[in-house]
Amino acid sequence: TETTSSVTGTAPQTQRKAGKKKIQERPLADYLKCGNKEAVIQCIRNFVSINTSAVHQALPFYVLKDLRLVAGMHAAKEYSVGMALQFPDLPSLKSESAIRQAVGFLKAAKHVIKDGKDQMAPLIESDENRDLYRTLAAEIREIAADDEAETVAG
């Protein structure tokens, strides 16, 4: 029975099937699928520098997804890690875990002020968050449109 003792040990990592899939740890810019990445990243950097709550710093996740400017970023964790890797020098950036939790929090029903009234709605639909979302989406849409115009002209 000498042969059985040599088989002991842990299974190789490639066999890992159960549980959550390991996310890719990449800076946010690596997920962008637009030509003007630097300008979009700068726009997001400015946004999270001014809007310092984790909930507000989670808004770009939905803006980028809704504008279809990201590829391969499916989970909140990919976004939050991407933000942490993209802006390690930004003192106003909340922790990776706070931003990750806030991404989910934005879609959760809460008592919010929506259309000037206190009501139950997803946090992202509150008057304050909706205004910030629209402003950021308009800025990023303009950057992406400028990029498309340059591509057509060039």
> Which residue range forms the structural domain that includes residue 50?
24-153
Instruction: Please give the pLDDT value at position 104.
Output: 97
Q: Quick one: average pLDDT of 140-153?
A: 73
Residue 48 located in a structural domain: yes
Residue 34 has which token pair?
């637009």
| pLDDT tens digit sequence for 115-128 | 999 999 999 999 99
Residue 3 located in a structural domain: no
Of 91, 125, 25, 106, which Cα lies nearest the Cα of 58?
106
Residue 83 located in a structural domain: yes
Residue 126 located in a structural domain: yes
Residue 13 located in a structural domain: no
Residue 14 located in a structural domain: no
Residue 10 located in a structural domain: no
Instruction: Please give the pLDDT value at position 43.
Output: 98
Residue 71 located in a structural domain: yes
Domain count of the fold of the chain? 1
Record the pTM. 0.81
